[in-house]
Structures are given as C-alpha cells and as structure tokens.
Amino acid sequence: MSYSGKQTQPITHTTFFELVNANVIRRVEVLLDDEKWWLLIHVGNVERVLSAKRGHVRRFSTLDSVRKYLQSVGIQRFEVEI
C-alpha cells in the first residue's frame, strides 16, 4: 500500500492497541479507496496501515464500522479523507 508516494508498513491490531495504550499515536486518518475504508496510523514520524490477520490491508465496509473499531481500541478522534 502506498500513500502520497510513500511506502507504509503494516501494523497489527495487537500492536496498534498497545501503541494506543502507550499514548504514542499522533494521528489516525481514515481514507476511502474502492468504496472501502482503511486506516493510516501516524506513530511519531512513521506512517503505518492497519493490517488484517492474513497480512493484507484491513478494510472496513462503512465509516460507522471504522468508528466502532477505533472506539474499541481507545481512539476518540480521527480524520476522514474522501
């Protein structure tokens, strides 16, 4: 997955959850691609994409499902880019 010409490394749910609890997530962007939503997670100066269990980019069908997921890991604020 590339974003703005940069390669981004995947991040697992477990690692994302741990980083949220460590309070080191700077920003979470929710982006739309082919009618599916995905997450770009900013950790320090590094951008990561949330990966699914099998290693591909985790995609969400609705923005509401993204909201519910982010709330479940402790994220209360995120940016949406259409």
pLDDT (0 to 100) of residue 8: 78
**Is the per-residue pLDDT at 5 higher than 50?**
no
- pLDDT tens-place string over residues 17-60: 999 999 999 999 999 999 999 999 999 899 999 999 998 999 99
Helix, strand, or coil (residue 40): strand
The number of distinct structural domains making up the chain is 1
pLDDT (0 to 100) of residue 66: 98
- Do the beta carbons of residue 66 and residue 60 sit within 8 Å? yes
Residue 34's CATH number: 3.30.720
pLDDT (0 to 100) of residue 55: 87
- Single-letter code of the amino acid located at 82: I
**What is the domain range of residue 49?**
2-81
Q: Record the pTM.
A: 0.87
pLDDT (0 to 100) of residue 7: 61
